[in-house]
Amino acid sequence: MNEKSTIKPYVIGLDLGGTNSVFGIVDSRGDIKATTAIKTQGYETSEAYVDAAVDALQIIIDQVGGIDKIKAMGIGAPNANYYTGNIEHAPNLVWGKGVVPLAKMFSDRLGGIPVAITNDANAAAIGEMTYGVARGMKNFIVITLGTGVGSGIVVNGQLVYGHDGFAGELGHVTMVRGKEGRSCGCGRTGCLEAYCSATGVARTAREILEKTTEPSLLRDLKPEDITSLDVSIAAGKGDKIANEIFEFTGKMLGEACADFAAFSSPEAFIFFGGLVKAGDLIMNPIKKGYDDHVLNIFKGKAQFLISGLDGASAAVLGASAIGWEINAQ
């Protein structure tokens, strides 16, 4: 280890979510040395948000010895463009309308340290490659299953950004074409996200309950209150309809993964997010859907893994890994 890296042993990771912004100072082994958080919303301008963020950050920066100990900063954020350092037209951020040069704003306020930004799924992929189950892998896809469906695609050890920085929107491949397709938040219909996100699972539950009179633990809940967690709990208790919901969801995800294999031949699909807490209830249907539809030359080659990163800190670790990536280039 050279003198420079000894002097600057930490990076800052920022998981910029729709509700909270969580900051961590992380060493090269993935140990979080200090953490803090602020509310993401409630600021009218991006300048006000960055002011509040830097005020909070300064306290934990001082805890690890000051800004001279910080090598770089990585940010995982919605609608983030790695190439430009901007957040672009983020619909769920009050201060994120238009184009916000967030990486430059943080760099300017933090003594000029390098700052990189990408979307949360790409951050998760870099985090898995740096700290998680993808260590040593060169070709894999991370699929995040939360409110939406995100993905980070790694080919030959490099994250795929495309020509404009927005490649890898696998949650918006069309799974159901025509009038039958569900409406998606992106404005189109039939997207994978409309079916296989946590909100998509709840939607499937409501549809199936409406079509059948079969008994289910889910009937004890108001249809509009059903969540993917409720489905998971019911499925764990052997509820037939809840298991049918996971079969439907997993089958579609597996079919989508079979298509994804055709263009990047990954050695692994790595799943991250609340839905994977259902374990085999969701993973077994995914594997079956994949095996039933994948091209023969890819059969038996891909692993199906669950993220090895701790859920509470995974997003911060993923963001921090982007900071280490800057210095590896």
Q: Does 3 score more than 50 pLDDT?
A: no
Q: Per-residue pLDDT tens for 162-174?
A: 999 889 899 999 9
What are the structural domains of the chain?
3-126+312-328 (3.30.420.40), 136-307 (3.30.420.40)
Q: Does 329 score more than 60 pLDDT?
A: no
Token output for 90: 């983020």
Q: What pLDDT does 172 receive?
A: 93
Q: What pLDDT does 2 receive?
A: 47
Q: What pLDDT does 4 receive?
A: 44
Q: What pLDDT does 328 receive?
A: 58
Going 294 to 156 to 163 to 119, the CA torsion angle's sign is positive
Please compute the mean of the pLDDT values over residues 305-319 and round it to a whole number: 84
Q: Per-residue pLDDT tens for 198-215?
A: 999 999 999 999 999 999
Q: Which residues pair with 217 in a beta bridge?
A: none
| 10-16 sheet: strands from edge to edge | 32-39, 20-27, 10-16, 70-76, 115-118
Please compute the mean of the pLDDT values over residues 234-250 and round it to a whole number: 96
| 80-81 sheet: strands from edge to edge | 80-81, 86-88, 99-100
Please compute the mean of the pLDDT values over residues 116-133 and round it to a whole number: 90
Please compute the mean of the pLDDT values over residues 163-187 and round it to a whole number: 91
Q: What pLDDT does 281 receive?
A: 93
CA 125-32-23 angle, to 5 degrees, is 75
Q: What pLDDT does 78 receive?
A: 84
Q: Nearest Cα to 133, choosing from 309, 280, 318? A: 309
Task: Pick the range with the lowest mean pLDDT from 108-112, 142-146, 188-192, 325-329.
Answer: 325-329
Q: Per-residue pLDDT tens for 14-53?
A: 999 878 899 999 998 889 999 999 999 889 999 999 999 9
Q: What pLDDT does 227 receive?
A: 94
